Amino acid sequence: MFRRILIANRGEIACRVIRTARRLGIGTVAVHSEADARALHVEMADEAVCIGPPAPAESYLRGDAIIEAALATGAEAIHPGYGFLSENPDFVEAVERAGLVFIGPSAEAIRAMGLKDAAKRLMEEAGVPVVPGWHGDNQDPEHLAGAAEAIGWPVLIKAVAGGGGKGMRRVDRAEDFPAALEAARSEAEKAFGDGRVLIEKFIARPRHIEVQIFGDGRRAVHLFERDCSAQRRHQKVIEEAPAPGMTAEMRDAMGQAAVRAAEAIGYAGAGTVEFIVDASEGLRPDRFWFMEMNTRLQVEHPVTEAVTGIDLVEWQLRVAAGEELPLTQERITLRGHAVEARLYAERPEAGFLPATGRIAHLSFPDDVRIETGVRAGDEISPWYDPMIAKIITHGPNREIALQRMALTLEETEIAGTATNLAFLSRLVGLPAFRAGDLDTAIIDRHLEALVRAAAPTDAEIALAALAAAGLERAAMLADPLLGFHLWQPLVQTVPLLRQEEGKGEERIEVRIATLGPGRHRVEIDGKRLTLEHDAGGWRIDGAKTALRVRRAGGEVAVFGGTNPVFTLPDPLARGDDAEGADGTILAPMPGLVRQIAVAPGARVTRGQRLAVLEAMKMEHSLTAPFDGVVAAVLAEEGVQIEAGAPILVLEEEGEAAA
């Protein structure tokens, strides 16, 4: 076995590979761009090498710099993860020329499967059913239009070099063909530097079902199927194993076809054979066709690990180190059902536009598998894939696995960037999805309902207002015996703003009367609620609720319900608020509380130093925005806090007595 490997990737997959390597006693070297100098994968690895500026072309795609880093650190092998250089045969050859091991298939195997047209030809020869269509060298538009006509509408134009759903267009009528061809070509040219296309029959009621295979160069086994039909823009959102409605007969046929595909190219390592299935009459063994093979570990591999109990990265490392396949086909068994949801920084309501931003707060329940490469304080930058985390749940059957997913999504908290969290919750709850009534259009068909945010409830608005006023932390920290004299009934009006897609901004005014430590009466539009906080969380009008609230910078997010996000009007002007109602001093960024310079009850003057926060290796002084009295200290020295966390509360003199 290797003593040390280098991981030529970033994010969750780099972290995931490091975890297994450590378990096997293998040392790890991370590479990173300048943008990732403080990234989680760098922190987790034993050593790290900076390989260039943020742009992938100048860092993670620089094979030469990566190989140099491996040689310099004494790594014996390179794990490519997925994306980046993972399916680049020239890189594989360069790695081998340098005397290193590439943890993955041979350059020839990658080349054989690299172009969709050549791969289909090869699979036809190996007796694997391929999607009916046309692939060839003649790229003349007239000729392609004729081929489409002969196949019959609708057809799918695909880039032969395609990946990630790029360069793909569905065409329903002859008159739309020329424009679609033009669009597919230019997209493919831009993304892959290769504008060639092929034409496929568009399969009716298509389901994407893929088979995980594993080879050692001599023989191959399959590890059952995954259903990845829940897609947006031809990209996977939720994946599961096994496929709903799968029969033993169909599983056998697909597994054998996939193994045939792998053995036809002497495949070594983890790979996935993707099939498109016509599910218009249920799953039938004569209705699946080869689409493409991904010659790497797939994003959604954890669902297979969950149902087989096999660590696929361990197998990758062992096979790359020269071992035979650890198990024979008969010894690989399927247990229960697993689901993976991809949490993205994106805005589903705006056509799934990728989002960026600093993650101010991130928390997952700890009893499920989470694969992530970020933590609170990290930036989702425009440079890389906006995936934040993969959430994987397992259960004895599909219903329980999905139920656990629903609960996990409810318990997940993320603030600071737009995400698809609420969208995922709605998708998991969609009756058609629950029923296993899947096809690749399921998201598009229900898009309206999936992206429409429900109006926030009064309870959510009330909690958001408390957080906006900095009272949610105070509630948790308040000591009923000591601190209460500082918490005289305090009445304030808190404005919240809510952005609604296509509807503009709504302003909500909430009145809060603080009754005691962690006890508040909240009034919204004439309706009154009593909110109390105790060790178990919040009680609303006496009843315990699963809702949680987080303030992060200028935003407040409520979790556990409809997941609304509110913005606070003009956060910079808060300290100078004419009403003087809100003198909460907030952490402007995540950091360590170095010093609290004042005690409760202290009289301070405008500009006086109140606290010192250490962040990004610098100290930031927080000063009094006005003359006043320190009403409460809410943070402790030596404690790491998040952006937007209240540090102390300042009151104008005389206010407390009012």
Interface residues toward ligand ADP, by CB under 6 A: 82-84, 131, 156, 158, 162-165, 200-203, 206, 208, 231, 234-236, 274, 276, 291-292, 294, 298-299, 385, 440
Secondary element (H or E) of residue 650:
strand 646-651
Minimum CB separation of residue 246 from Mg ion in Å reads: 19
Cis peptide before 154 (omega within 30 of 0): yes
- Contact present, 231 and 208 (Cβ < 8 Å): yes
Question: Which entry of ligand ADP, Mg ion, none binds 276, CB below 5 to 8 A by partner kind?
Answer: ligand ADP
- Contact present, 344 and 25 (Cβ < 8 Å): no
The CA-atom distances, in angstroms, between 272 and each of 78, 107, 254, 300, 535 are 20, 16, 12, 10, 48
Question: Which entry of ligand ADP, Mg ion, none binds 236, CB below 5 to 8 A by partner kind?
Answer: ligand ADP
Compute, in degrees rounded to 10, the torsion defined by CA atoms 639, 643, 645, 649: 100
Long-range CB contacts for residues 440-449, cutoff 8 Å, separation at least 24: 440/206, 440/207, 440/208, 440/229, 440/231, 440/234, 441/206, 442/229, 442/230, 443/230, 443/231, 443/232, 443/237, 444/232
User: Rounded to an integer, what distance in angstroms lies between the CA atom of residue 469 and that of residue 556?
Assistant: 10
Minimum CB separation of residue 60 from ligand ADP in Å reads: 8
Question: Which entry of Mg ion, ligand ADP, none binds 206, CB below 5 to 8 A by partner kind?
Answer: ligand ADP
Q: Smaller CB distance to Mg ion: residue 101 or 230? A: 230
Minimum CB separation of residue 231 from ligand ADP in Å reads: 5
Written in H, E and C, the secondary structure of 504-526 is: EEEEEEEEEEEEECCEEEEEECC
- Contact present, 508 and 582 (Cβ < 8 Å): no
- Contact present, 2 and 314 (Cβ < 8 Å): no
Question: Which entry of ligand ADP, Mg ion, none binds 295, CB below 5 to 8 A by partner kind?
Answer: none
Catalytic pick from 62, 111, 287, 296?
296
| Paired tokens of 569 | 């009007």
User: Rounded to an integer, what distance in angstroms lies between the CA atom of residue 253 and that of residue 100?
Assistant: 37
Q: Which residues contact Mg ion (rule: CB under 5 A)?
A: 274
Q: Smaller CB distance to ligand ADP: residue 281 or 479? A: 281
Q: Smaller CB distance to ligand ADP: residue 239 or 472? A: 239
Minimum CB separation of residue 210 from Mg ion in Å reads: 8
Minimum CB separation of residue 13 from Mg ion in Å reads: 17
Minimum CB separation of residue 82 from ligand ADP in Å reads: 5
Q: How many CA atoms lie within 13 A of 469 on its CB side?
A: 27
With vertex at residue 258, the alpha carbon angle to CA 257 and CA 260, rounded to the nearest 5 degrees, is 65
Largest interatomic CA distance in the chain: 87
Closest CA to 104 of 23, 190, 7: 7
Q: Smaller CB distance to ligand ADP: residue 234 or 452? A: 234
Taking CB positions, which residue lies at the least distance from Mg ion? 274
Q: Smaller CB distance to ligand ADP: residue 171 or 469? A: 171
Q: Smaller CB distance to ligand ADP: residue 225 or 274? A: 274
296 is catalytic: yes
Q: Smaller CB distance to ligand ADP: residue 73 or 294? A: 294
Taking CB positions, which residue lies at the least distance from ligand ADP? 83
User: Rounded to an integer, what distance in angstroms lies between the CA atom of residue 224 and that of residue 276?
Assistant: 15
Minimum CB separation of residue 291 from ligand ADP in Å reads: 4
Secondary element (H or E) of residue 494:
strand 490-500
With vertex at residue 185, the alpha carbon angle to CA 184 and CA 189, rounded to the nearest 5 degrees, is 120
Minimum CB separation of residue 578 from ligand ADP in Å reads: 49
Q: Smaller CB distance to ligand ADP: residue 197 or 471? A: 197
Q: Active-site residues: which are they?
A: 296
